[in-house]
């Protein structure tokens, strides 16, 4: 019967703890650069986010990720969820206070163009994990993408320019050299599609970034990044308690179950009152009595070993010996006197 009450109480406590932990987990806010997919997979891009002063590996200096432009006349530098670690100066169309927040840029004709500010919140577009940067430099064209001709690669346009000397080809590319007109607030942006790296030997801190394309108006740039960090997995809970703390919590719960369950049993079933409601009262009372007796014995033994008491005993023993010697001398003197009288 006692076991039944204890087990029921333990089950109640465990269920309440489980419910509280589930509610806490559901209300937990995700860390920056992390996201949970609709299928409840956890993605953490922090391993591939380069931090200032922290290199990708111990053999190389800290630098951001690079992507070749190929047919685009510029190479790109970007970082994941954070600003690039390179120190930028004179970024086109970006306030000086925001130069340190640029997450992607390229250099063209000696000028630095931002293609997006820092963003640490990846999103899902269907089943695609995407990271978007916005708020870059002004777009080089003042017209909308709907007004632009079909996009040709830079190499194709170069071949056209080399083959034809007519002004028609130059007119087709005039929009690319246009400067933003007054009131045009469109800025460059970046879209990075993150894919899972299936190579088992690839470290989780490595990523391969490739430039895919740019929009015809050069306002949006598309990249593709492959890394193990984009494979998803199970979220690792940060353990706030060490092994000793976990053991202590388990021990406290066990003691509480023992005390509460035993008290309920003794009061409801055995009809005990007072201290006798405690489980195994006789055993604990005997243990307490034994500890009290041992305390009295130890204190008495220690009291006998006090230096002041030992000195007093020695003095009393010496006095007793002196008295014994005096009585012997008296008896000897009496015997001598008796012998002299007899003579």
Instruction: Supply 231's token pair.
Output: 């494979």
Residues 6+ apart with CB under 8 A from 333: none
Q: Domain segments of the chain: what residues?
A: 34-141+184-230
- 64 φ/ψ angles, rounded to the nearest 5 degrees: -80, 180
Q: Where are the beta strands (DSSP E) in 11-103?
A: 34-36, 42-44, 65-67, 76-78
Assigned CATH for 34-141+184-230: 2.70.130.10
Contact assessment for residue 93 and residue 187, using Cβ atoms and an 8 Å cutoff: yes
- The whole-number pLDDT of residue 278 equals 81
Rg of the chain in Å (alpha carbons):
44
pLDDT at position 227 over 70: yes
- The secondary structure element, H or E, covering residue 291 is helix 281-304
pLDDT at position 253 over 80: yes
Contact assessment for residue 102 and residue 93, using Cβ atoms and an 8 Å cutoff: no
Residues 6+ apart with CB under 8 A from 147: none
Instruction: Supply 54's token pair.
Output: 């922290």
pLDDT at position 110 over 80: yes
Ranges 25-29, 167-171, 228-232, 264-268, most confident: 228-232
- Encode pLDDT of 47-70 as tens digits: 999 988 665 555 555 789 999 998
Ranges 84-98, 263-277, 290-304, 319-333, most confident: 84-98
Q: What is the mean pLDDT of the chain?
A: 77
To the nearest 10 degrees (0 to 180), the angle between helices 243-268 and 2-27 is 140
Contact assessment for residue 52 and residue 102, using Cβ atoms and an 8 Å cutoff: no
Contact assessment for residue 191 and residue 130, using Cβ atoms and an 8 Å cutoff: yes
Collapsing DSSP states into helix, strand and coil, what is residue 302?
A: helix
Tell me what percent of the residues of the chain surpass a pLDDT of 90: 36
Residue with tokens 């432009």: 69
How far apart CA 42 and CA 289 sit, in angstroms, is: 58
- Measuring CA to CA, how many Å separate 54 from each of 198, 283, 285? 26, 62, 63
- The whole-number pLDDT of residue 147 equals 47
Greater confidence, 272 or 339?
272
- The whole-number pLDDT of residue 12 equals 57
Contact assessment for residue 218 and residue 175, using Cβ atoms and an 8 Å cutoff: no
Across the range 280-290, mean pLDDT stands at 85
**Please, is 175 exposed, middle or buried when counting C-beta atoms within 10 Å of its C-beta (0-12, 13-18, 19+)?**
middle
pLDDT class of 135 with cuts at 50, 70, 90: very high
Tell me what percent of the residues of the chain surpass a pLDDT of 70: 68
Across the range 270-294, mean pLDDT stands at 84
pLDDT at position 96 over 70: yes
Biggest alpha carbon distance in the chain?
A: 174
- The whole-number pLDDT of residue 83 equals 94
Across the range 318-330, mean pLDDT stands at 62
Contact assessment for residue 67 and residue 78, using Cβ atoms and an 8 Å cutoff: yes
Contact assessment for residue 217 and residue 166, using Cβ atoms and an 8 Å cutoff: no
- Encode pLDDT of 150-194 as tens digits: 444 444 444 544 554 444 444 444 444 445 444 557 999 999 999
pLDDT at position 75 over 90: yes
Contact assessment for residue 108 and residue 188, using Cβ atoms and an 8 Å cutoff: no
Greater confidence, 130 or 56?
130
Contact assessment for residue 277 and residue 267, using Cβ atoms and an 8 Å cutoff: yes
């Amino acid at each position: 019967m006692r076991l039944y009450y204890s087990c029921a109480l333990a089950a109640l406590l465990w269920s309440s703890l489980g419910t509280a932990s589930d509610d806490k987990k559901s209300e937990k806010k995700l860390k920056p650069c992390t996201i949970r997919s609709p299928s409840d997979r956890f993605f953490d891009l922090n391993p591939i986010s380069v931090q200032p002063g922290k290199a990708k590996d111990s053999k190389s200096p800290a630098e951001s990720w690079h992507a070749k432009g190929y047919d685009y006349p510029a190479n790109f530098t970007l970082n994941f969820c954070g600003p690039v670690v390179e120190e930028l100066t004179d970024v086109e169309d970006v306030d000086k206070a925001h130069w340190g927040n640029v997450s992607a840029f390229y250099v063209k004709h000696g000028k630095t163009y931002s293609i997006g500010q820092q963003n640490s919140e990846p999103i899902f577009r269907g089943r695609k994990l995407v990271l978007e940067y916005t708020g870059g430099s002004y777009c080089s064209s003042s017209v909308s993408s709907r007004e632009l001709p079909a996009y040709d690669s830079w190499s194709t346009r170069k071949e056209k320019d080399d083959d034809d000397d007519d002004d028609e080809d130059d007119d087709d590319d005039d929009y690319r050299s246009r400067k933003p007109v007054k009131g045009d607030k469109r800025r460059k942006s970046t879209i990075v599609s993150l894919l899972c790296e299936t190579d088992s030997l690839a470290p989780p801190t490595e990523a391969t970034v490739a430039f895919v394309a740019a929009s015809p108006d050069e306002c949006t740039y598309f990249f593709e990044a492959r890394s193990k960090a984009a494979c998803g997995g199970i979220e690792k809970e940060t353990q706030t308690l060490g092994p000793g703390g976990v053991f202590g919590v388990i021990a406290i719960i066990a003691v509480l179950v023992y005390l509460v369950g035993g008290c309920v049993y003794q009061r409801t079933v055995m009809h005990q009152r007072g201290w006798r409601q405690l489980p195994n009262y006789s055993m604990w009372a005997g243990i307490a009595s034994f500890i009290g007796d041992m305390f009295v014995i130890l204190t008495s033994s220690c009291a006998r070993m006090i230096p002041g008491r030992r000195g007093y005993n020695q003095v009393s023993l010496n006095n007793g010996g002196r008295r014994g010697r005096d009585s012997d001398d008296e008896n000897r003197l009496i015997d001598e006197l008796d012998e002299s009288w007899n003579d």
